[in-house]
Structure formats: C-alpha cells, structure tokens
Amino acid sequence: MSKEIFTAKTFFDNLKEKRLMGSKCKECNALFVPSRPVCLQCGSTNLEWIESKGEGSLETFTVIHVPPVSLLTKAPYVVGIVRLDEGVSIMGRIIDVDPTEPEKIELGMRVKVVVIEENEKTVLAFKPFTTRST
C-alpha cells in the first residue's frame, strides 16, 4: 500500500461510501480517526487502515449560533466530540437533536456515524441511537 492512501481526500471518499476510516500505527499501536499518514505519537509512517464501527458516545458538544457564511441557513446546529468505541475522539455534526433545547442533549448518549451531503461537501455527522428495543 502506498502512503497516498492516508490523505484527507481518501478519508472523505471512504466517508461517502459510509466507511469511517482510521489508521493505526504498526509501531506503537496509536489509532487515528480520521486516518493520517504519520503517527502523531512516534512519528512513524508505518500505518495501516482500520475501519471504525462508527459507534460511540457523546463526550461534549456545543451549539453553533454564528456559523461560517456557507452554513448560515443551517444555524443553530450542534457540533460535538464523540468518543468512538475504538477509543478515539472525533469531532462531527450532531443531528437529530434539538439545538434550541441543548439541556435535553445527553452527554454520554450513544451515537452512530451518518454521512450528510451539504453544499456539495461530505460532512461527518452523528445521530443518537439506542441499542435497546422498545
């Protein structure tokens, strides 16, 4: 495998196919999502692809009221940090929650990855889900 595969472009190409890809350092086992070409921990370039299950829990979030111009019509919206089950934290949009009632957004709730297309861009997002049957 060539090193080019760990670019942001290939990460988003995979994301479009609904695959959340990370890379794992073969030297020190550090894990990175999104995938990256160089290990932040030991500087090694000896990394391999791993596919995240895309499930985790919401660590923290913030409601964006003043977004970049391209997202003006979307505000307010929620951006959060999700702790994936693989043990890595990643930032993404949180959907299916009400940004006008942030007190109802539960820290630690289970979320899973969804991919949304917006302004011709692929956006990484998460939505709440429950494993319990109701």
Question: Smallest distance, Å, CB 124 to Zn ion?
Answer: 24
Q: Is 120 exposed, middle or buried (0-12, 13-18, 19+ CB in 10 A)?
A: exposed
The pairing of beta strand 47-52 with beta strand 31-32: unpaired
Q: At its nearest, how many Å lie between Zn ion and the CB of residue 38?
A: 9
Which positions from 26 to 55 touch Zn ion by CB under 5 A, shown as an x/- string?
Answer: -xx-x--------x-xx-x-----------
H or E segment at 9? helix 8-16
Bridge partners of 61, per DSSP, are 80
Q: Kindly determine how many residues on this chain lie close enough to bind Zn ion according to the rule CB under 5 A.
A: 8
For position 79 contacting Zn ion by CB under 5 A, the verdict is: no
Q: Which residues bind Zn ion (CB under 5 A)?
A: 25, 27-28, 30, 39, 41-42, 44
